[in-house]
Amino acid sequence: MARLSVRAGGEADRAFIRDLGKRTAMDSVSPVRRASPGSVLESYDRLLEIVEDQSHVALIAESDGKPAGFLLLLDRLADEVTGEPQAFVAYMAVERAYRREGVGAALMRAAEDEARSRGLPYIALMVTEENAAAQALYATFGFVTERRLLCKEL
């Protein structure tokens, strides 16, 4: 059985985060939106800039010492309801070869531990309606739907 671990990411992990994020970015696009791969990749680059411009933690999952996935956690994003800082999962990706092997769960446990250690009262994230696998994972961690973003093509 593979040895799975999660560690804090650093400057040396930036290329891995950029590369895996770009390879998985289309997985996060709802079929409601007609988005070209080029525009989705530009949006991912903008997301990385936004994350890097504020307080965050990059978590890197490794399987037998090889990078298997990452999670970007904002740790001071103001909750729009209470105004308190909250943890927010800005992006999570797992290498296709390591999916369904506990990598996503390990990253979520590490993110929750990090949020708790910082005294944050909530952790939030967004997921598309079609991503049943991710929704099932999040449900095992006790996430519930708080609101929905509705979209209609015109």
Higher model confidence: residue 116 or residue 132? 116
Q: Tell me the mean pLDDT in the region 30-41.
A: 88
Return the CATH class of domain 4-140.
alpha beta
pTM of the complete model: 0.93
Total count of residues recorded for the chain: 154
d(CA 66, CA 54): 28
Nearest to 87 by CA among 110, 60, 105: 110
- Residue spans of the domains in the chain: they are 4-140
- Tell whether the model's pLDDT for residue 28 goes beyond 90: no
The tens digit of pLDDT for each residue in 82-107 reads 899 999 999 999 999 999 999 999 99
What is the arithmetic mean of pLDDT over 127-141? 91
- The sheet carrying 123-124 orders its strands as 4-8, 56-63, 66-78, 85-94, 123-124
Backbone angles phi, psi at 82, to 5 degrees: -95, -20
What integer best gives the mean pLDDT of the chain?
A: 93
If we measure between CA atoms, which residue out of 36, 99, 49 comes closest to residue 69? 99
